[in-house]
Structure 1
């Protein structure tokens, strides 16, 4: 595995970081707790020492699963990355979505990052994760109802108390990042990025490069679309958020699969899966520091970790870029 420094900090994360959204089950149809724990452990054995989770993933379930998975592993060998600012248990801030929890009950999810809420959320996360500090603590989505300075004053206090090491953001644009930086040094921005979803390269990634903010790319596999295993007649489980997502409409699936067929011979040549080729390309993209990748089981987790062995030449990267362009991505 390779490790990269995050911003100006002394924190290093594994280039392939375990993304624990699907592990929480919520919005993914379901999860098998034991499979998720085995997936995290299998990744760790191959050097995936960084795990990204959030309280909202399964309303605490994902963090608890991570906590169970890391029991017995020396804490200084792990980097725990989690988030705050999405409340399903408090009706404050802006309503983000109406959803259902893992028991099928209706919940309202709010974007809220007021000072007391941030402090409270951190305490809850520490309990669920079974640890006394978080390596990187990130606001999950911008909260337009709370001054950015108030939110990061709270994180600053948590850093002073030793409960958090570094502050990051998710889904922030350059202007929001700049404002947050005035209160507390922000080391990273977690944003959506994949071969077929590169909108952040227009402004946000260049801002991060210029200001030494690491980019943690989430959904680099576009939620499974880039594995090549999704067909136009794919059946999603009840509660799977991908149903109805524009990327998973039959015409989008067909367009993506036609592109993947063009690059598959390169994957075969490298004795790699399509997923591994996609991840290899992602982590070489300018400005992308870390790829956050989910896995439902140990086999997928091992495959993700081994993507680090797929080395691409400049010509091979250019070939993929040319195919992306001609496919209309």
Structure 2
């Protein structure tokens, strides 16, 4: 495993970090808790020491699973990343979207990052994770109803109190990052990035490179699209939100698979799966510090971890990029 320093902070994370969204089941059509726990432990056994979770993932379930999975490990050998500001238990803040919990009950998701909410959320996360501190505490989504300075003042207080080590943001644009940094030094920005979603290259990546901020790329496999395991007509479980995304239309699955077929020989040459090749490509991109990759069972977790050991030359990366430039998805 490779370990990378996050910006100018004191935090070092594994280049492949375990993304625990799917572990919580929410928006993924449920989860099997024992499999999720074993997936995290298998990842750790293969050098993945960093785990990213959030209260919203299963309305606390993902954090509880993470807490259970790491309870026997030395705390200073594991890096816990979690979030705040995405609420299902209040109507404060800005309405985000309608959803359902893992039991099928209707819930409304709000973006709320007021000071009172942050302090409450942090205490609840610490309890669910069964830990005294969080290594990286990140706002999940910008809250348009709360001044960024108010949000970051609360985070600053948590850091001063020793409840968190470093502050990060998710889904922030450059202007929002700059405003946050008038209050507290940010370690990182967690943003969506994959072969088929590269819009952060325009502004976020240059800003983070210039200002020494880490970029935590989430959904690098585009929620399974880039694994090569999907075919048109793919059957999604009830509660899985992927069919609502344009990436998963039959036509876009076809187009993506044509691209994946083109780079399959390179994966074969490396004795790697397509998913492993995609993960390795991701962490080799300019400005990308780590890739957050989920796993729903131990086998996936092991494969994800081993992606780091693949060697890609500049020419091979250029070959992938040339093939990728020919891929165009339909957004309607």
TM over 0.5: yes
Match runs of 1:214-229 below 5 Å:
214-229=214-229
TM-score, structure 2 normalization: 0.98
Pairwise CA RMSD: 0.6
1:60 aligns with 2:60: yes
Residue aligning to 2:279: 279
Q: Deviation digits for residues 219-242 of structure 1, max 9, x if unmatched?
A: 000000000001001000001010
TM-score, structure 1 normalization: 0.99
Measured after TM superposition, the shift of residue 111 of structure 1 is: 0.1
Could you tell me how far apart the structure 1 residues matched to 2:290 and 2:315 are? 22
**Bigger CA drift: 200-209 or 48-57?**
200-209
Match runs of 1:1-329 below 5 Å:
1-328=1-328
Q: In structure 1, the residue corresponding to 2:167 is in which secondary structure?
A: strand
Measured after TM superposition, the shift of residue 116 of structure 1 is: 0.8
Could you tell me how far apart the structure 2 residues matched to 1:80 and 1:277 are? 26
Gaps of 5+ in 2: none
Gaps of 5+ in 1: none
Could you tell me how far apart the structure 1 residues matched to 2:328 and 2:244 are? 21
Could you tell me how far apart the structure 2 residues matched to 1:34 and 1:250 are? 32
Could you tell me how far apart the structure 2 residues matched to 1:300 and 1:71 are? 22
Alignment length (residue pairs): 329
Q: In structure 2, the residue corresponding to 1:288 is in which secondary structure?
A: coil
Q: Deviation digits for residues 95-149 of structure 1, max 9, x if unmatched?
A: 0011111111111110000001000000000000000000000000000000000
